Structure formats: structure tokens, C-alpha cells
Amino acid sequence: MSLIKPHGSDALNPLFVYDTAENEALQKKAEGLASIVVSSATAANAVMLGGGYFNPLTGYMNKADALSVAKSMKTASGLFWPVPVLNLVKDAGGVKAGDRIALKDPNIDGHPILAVMDVEAVEEFSDAEMAMMSQEIYRPRAEEAHPGVEAFNSQGKICISGPIKVLNFSYFQSEFPDTFRTAVEIRNEIAERGWSKVVAFQTRNPMHLAHEELCHMAMKRLGCDGLVIHMLLGKLKPGDIPAPVRDAAIRKMVELYFPKNSAMVTGYGFDMLYAGPKEAVLHAVFRQNMGATHFIVGRDHAGVGDHYGAFDAQTIFDNEVPAGALKIEIFKADHTAYSKKLDKVVMMCEAPDHVKEDFVLLSGTKVREMLGKGIAPPKEFSRPEVAEILIKYYQSLEK
């Protein structure tokens, strides 16, 4: 049984140095190199390159590739790619083309060396080019601040490009040893489990009953023998539930409500871009790289505020992703909710005879209020065992 091919190559090319002796030798050499402490976004890109998620890229993009990707979702050489993968800095110091430099981790005390980079170019984007990329990648509504655009523009305008060798996976491996997995590891586990059709579910939140049922629904309709719940472990926005709490809640749900050997709980080290449609396409690329054949894209996938239409992250696959550019297939989902009429969770678009009052709908604010007071949401909204974990977390905030 052969797994789906990775994007852009026959075999996965992770940039992590797996050979222990070579890794140690490079670490030693790197200590004597000129170094820069990179941005959190650049560090997250290194982790994704290291784990094979960004296959077939070999490092950070240069200016020509970045501008081309932002405009047309293709590198200058024609590789399909949805968003630029950059090492942006405010000041490159004396770094120049031909240098070998050490990239230091901004997210760990003491800034350990994350990767070694062979610099091919040091270039600067103009204000107009930064504005164009911000607009094309994030597609923000002009009248509303966008956290992704702010994070992108806060890194600097100087772009250091070239191939990298990754020496560690930042804090993800030590802080989330049971959950953080590289694309290589997930591919291997899919093969070990003997799955042939695999659907991936992206989450940055705990999963309530509607999410759980959506996964069951996708597996059934697609005829999948495996589900990979793949949670974001990187930087989120204030107020989001921390990864360890999400992790515990999701594991409890899988343990109790999924058949044995049908679901894997994993996570990846990346900062949320909140780039809506373009980020949904990026999510599809790295799900293909980790071996999934299908990927669930829901309403307002990877969105923030009111920047995107409810189904923009789905229509981009029909309107802007060229035919054959990706091998992974998209499972398009609407909001799912518990129908009081039918006594089960349904996709809302598949219940045309329903009015709003026929569904059990609770806002995130309302759910947080209830959990903070120690009240479990109704069983039609959340599994009691999941609610219990979340109640403990919210009550700990009150103390």
C-alpha cells in the first residue's frame, strides 16, 4: 500500500538533521558562526521545514519567490505554493550572501540555535511590496485591524534567503512530547496502522460534540479508515485555550467516542497566521505532506474577525488552486449543530426545514461563562467528560 505522495516530490525531504553525530557537529560549528535571533514566525517556519511539512522547500524564499507566491501562489520556477515562507528581520547586521549563519530561537530562554542557514541573498522589500504581500496573503478588510497583518509587518522588511538545516524543534518537542509530531512521524504511523484513506481535522480549540460528529461524518462519507486530529501548538491570540488543556480534552473525547485504531491525536509547531483562505490552502499542503488523503475545511477556516466570507476558504480551492496542483482532496463542511427536531448533530445546510431555534447553538462567550461558573454545557453541545476538563481550567483562572 503506497501513501499519497508529498507535495512537489516523490519522497518527503525533511530539513531536520536526523543523524546524531552530524547534528552535534553542526551544533558545535554553529556556535562559532555569526547569528541572528529570528522572529517567532521565522522560527515556526524552521520547525515546519524541519518536520517535512513544507516539502519540497529547502529553506527560506528570496524576494522574487515571495512576491510571486503572494501574487500568484507560484514560486518564480512555477512550484505551487500558497504563502511566502520568509526569514524577515529589521536589521541583517553584517550578514551577506555566501555567509553561513546560525538562526537562534526567540521562544526559548538563552536563544539556543535552531538551524544553520547558508545565505544566498539579503534583500529589502519596499513599503509598497510589503503592503502588496499583506493584501494578497491576508486579504484584510481595510476598515478592521488584522492580527496576521500586524504580526507580518512587525518582523521587518529585510529578507534573508537560502537553504537551512534544522537542529531542533524548538519548545514543541519538550513541552508537547505526546502530541508534537513531524510529517515524517505521522506518515510512518499512518503506514503502521495500515490506513489507506485518511482525513485530517485542523483545530486550535477543544472539540465539542459538533466537531466530533463532523469528523465521524467525514470519515463515513469519504470511506476513510483513519482520522488525524492535528492541533496547532504554536502562538495563538489572547484568550485562546492553552494547548495542554485542549490536548487533554481532545484525547478524552477520542478515547471514549472513537473506535480503537480509528483516530490519532497529534499536533504541529506553527504560529497561527489567521490568513483565512490562503492559510486553508497552506493547511492542505502540509496535510498532504503528512500523508492525509482528505482534509476538512469548515466555515471561516483560519479566519479572524469579519475579514472573510463564511465559505471563502472553500471556494479558493475551486477558483484559485489550479487543477492537479494538490493531490489531497477537500471535504467541505458547513457549521454542524445539534438538531432538536432530529435528535442528532447535522450540517446546518442539510437541514433546510430548520429555523435557528431548532438547533442547540451557544456562543463561545456563553460557553466560557458557563464553564467558568462550573456549569457544564448541555450534552447536545459538549461531552460531559470534555466539559469537566474545561471547567477545571476556567475555574483555575478565577483563583
For residue 183, the model assigns a pLDDT of 98
Does residue 13 lie in a domain region?
no
User: Is 90 exceeded by the pLDDT of residue 101?
Assistant: yes
Of 65-79, 217-231, 300-314, the one with minimum mean pLDDT is: 300-314
Which of 114, 142, 173 is at the close of a domain? 173
One domain for residues 286 and 153 = no
For residue 170, the model assigns a pLDDT of 96
Grid cell for residue 376: 457544564
Active site (catalytic) residues: 204-205
**Higher per-residue confidence, 142 vs 59:** 59
One domain for residues 136 and 261 = no
Cα 87 from Cα 118, distance rounded (Å): 12
Does residue 1 lie in a domain region?
no
Cα 4 from Cα 196, distance rounded (Å): 9
**In the chain, what percentage of residues exceed pLDDT 70?**
98
Tell me the per-residue pLDDT of 318-330, one tens digit each, with 9 for 90 and over.
Answer: 999 999 999 999 9
Q: In the structure, what pLDDT confidence band is assigned to residue 34 with cuts at 50, 70 and 90?
A: very high
For residue 285, the model assigns a pLDDT of 98
Radius of gyration over every alpha carbon of the chain, rounded to an integer in angstroms: 21
* Dihedral sign, Cα of residue 129, residue 133, residue 139, residue 140: negative
Pair type for strands 198-203 and 294-297: parallel
User: Is 70 exceeded by the pLDDT of residue 315?
Assistant: yes
Mean pLDDT (the chain) is 94
One domain for residues 304 and 322 = yes
Does residue 196 lie in a domain region?
yes
User: Is 90 exceeded by the pLDDT of residue 305?
Assistant: no
For residue 399, the model assigns a pLDDT of 66
Does residue 14 lie in a domain region?
no
One domain for residues 222 and 85 = no
One domain for residues 163 and 182 = no
User: Is 90 exceeded by the pLDDT of residue 44?
Assistant: yes
Q: In the structure, what pLDDT confidence band is assigned to residue 300 with cuts at 50, 70 and 90?
A: confident
Q: In the structure, what pLDDT confidence band is assigned to residue 244 with cuts at 50, 70 and 90?
A: confident
Cα 220 from Cα 353, distance rounded (Å): 24
Cis peptide before 244 (omega within 30 of 0): no
**Higher per-residue confidence, 302 vs 288:** 288
Does residue 37 lie in a domain region?
yes
One domain for residues 182 and 317 = yes
User: Is 80 exceeded by the pLDDT of residue 236?
Assistant: no
Phi, psi angles (nearest 5°) of residue 139: 45, 50
From 339, 344, 364, select the one nearest 354 (Cα to Cα): 339
* Dihedral sign, Cα of residue 123, residue 127, residue 129, residue 134: positive
For residue 368, the model assigns a pLDDT of 87
User: Is 70 exceeded by the pLDDT of residue 202?
Assistant: yes
Residues in contact with 361: Cβ distance below 8 Å, sequence separation at least 6, in sequence order: 337
One domain for residues 43 and 156 = yes
One domain for residues 247 and 369 = yes
Rama region for 295: left / alpha / beta (φ>0; ψ in -120 to 50; rest): beta
Q: What is the CATH number of the domain that holds 356?
A: 3.40.50.620
Tell me which residue range forms the domain holding 162. 20-173
One domain for residues 168 and 218 = no
Mean per-residue pLDDT for 195-215?
94
Q: Helix/strand/coil (H, E, C) string of the chain?
A: CCCCCCCCCCCCCCCECCCHHHHHHHHHHHHCCCEEECCHHHHHHHHHHHCCCCCCCCEECCHHHHHHHHHHCECCCCCECCCCCCCEECCCCCCCCCCEEEEECCCCCCCCEEEEEECCEEEECCHHHHHHHHHHHHCCCCCCCCHHHHHHHCCCCEEEEEEEEECCCCCHHHHCCCCECCHHHHHHHHHHHCCCCEEEEEECCCCCHHHHHHHHHHHHHHCCCEEEEEEECCCCCCCCCCHHHHHHHHHHHHHHHCCCCCEEEEEECCCCCCCHHHHHHHHHHHHHHCCCCEEEECCCCCCCCCCCCCCHHHHHHHHCCCCCCCCCEEEECCCEEEECCCCEEEEHHHCCCCCHHHEECCCHHHHHHHHHCCCCCCCCCCCHHHHHHHHHHHHHHHC
In the block, cell 470534555 appears at 386
Q: What is the CATH number of the domain that holds 73?
A: 3.10.400.10
One domain for residues 122 and 244 = no
Number of domains in the chain: 2
User: Is 90 exceeded by the pLDDT of residue 215?
Assistant: yes
